[in-house]
Structure 1
Amino acid sequence: MRRSWILLTAASILGTTPALAADADHGADLAERWCASCHVVRSAQTQASADVPSFASIARRPDFSVEKLAFFLLDPHPKMPNFPLSRAEAADIAAYIASLRR
């Protein structure tokens, strides 16, 4: 139930329809491809940069918001590489990170 709410929330904020709602599984695949060189994106990952937060720690932040994160991924800060993510891909990665919140 919680995952469905996260997906629908991301979809509504990013202007997608529920049929095109964020896909956390696809977000995990994208994160492994684009983000794992710096961030720990899955618990089984053994190597990442020391000075960047893991995705699980990002998800547990008190001010975490799937919407804010999706928008952040579309316009990253200077320390992050400029990845050409679509709105749907940003929503998918944000939904994946939100799924790690425990």
Structure 2
Amino acid sequence: MYLHLRRICLLLAVTSSSSPALAADAGHGADLAKRWCASCHVVANGQTQASADVPSFAAVARRPDFNPEKLAFFLLDPHPKMPNFPLSRTEAGDIAAYIGSLRP
């Protein structure tokens, strides 16, 4: 029950801001992704090394159910397959915006 309530609160916190001043920054998300995510994921064109068993950011962006808000929520919620990075809501939103910018 507590985990379910925590997820709802995180989702509301991520999606409640619609102010343009608080809009996600895909450029900052790209910088964060290159620093924190590139050891496992291919995060940008030209990257030559990553783990074979994880999707590239471009592949994540191409998923038919891709949603930046849900992805930001996912990044904030600890899960066993990824390291627990101490991302702020803004940073998670920025990374999700960067991934969204890779959609064809």
What's the CA shift string for 1:45-101, capped at 9, x where partnerless?
Answer: 000000000000000001111111000000142010000000000000000000000
* Structure 1 residues not aligned, in runs of 5+: 1-11
Equivalent in the alignment of 1:50: 52
Q: Percent identity?
A: 79
What's the CA shift string for 1:1-43, capped at 9, x where partnerless?
Answer: xxxxxxxxxxx71526311210000000000001000000001
- TM-score, length-normalised on structure 1? 0.85
Structure 1 segments of 4 or more deviating over 6 A? none
For residue 82 of structure 2, give the secondary structure of its aligned residue in structure 1. Answer: coil
Does structure 2 conserve the Cα–Cα contact (< 8 Å) formed by 1:40 and 1:54?
Answer: yes
Does structure 2 conserve the Cα–Cα contact (< 8 Å) formed by 1:14 and 1:91?
Answer: no
RMSD: 1.3
- TM-score, length-normalised on structure 2? 0.83
For residue 43 of structure 2, give the secondary structure of its aligned residue in structure 1. Answer: coil
Output the CA distance in 2 between the equivalents of 1:39 and 1:15: 28
Equivalent in the alignment of 2:65: 63
Output the CA distance in 2 between the equivalents of 1:76 and 1:92: 18
Report the residue type matching 1:22 in the other structure: A
Equivalences for residues 1-102 of structure 1 within 5 A: 13-15=15-17, 17-102=19-104
Does structure 2 conserve the Cα–Cα contact (< 8 Å) formed by 1:24 and 1:93?
Answer: yes
Output the CA distance in 2 between the equivalents of 1:44 and 1:80: 23
Q: Which structure has the greater CA radius of gyration? A: 2
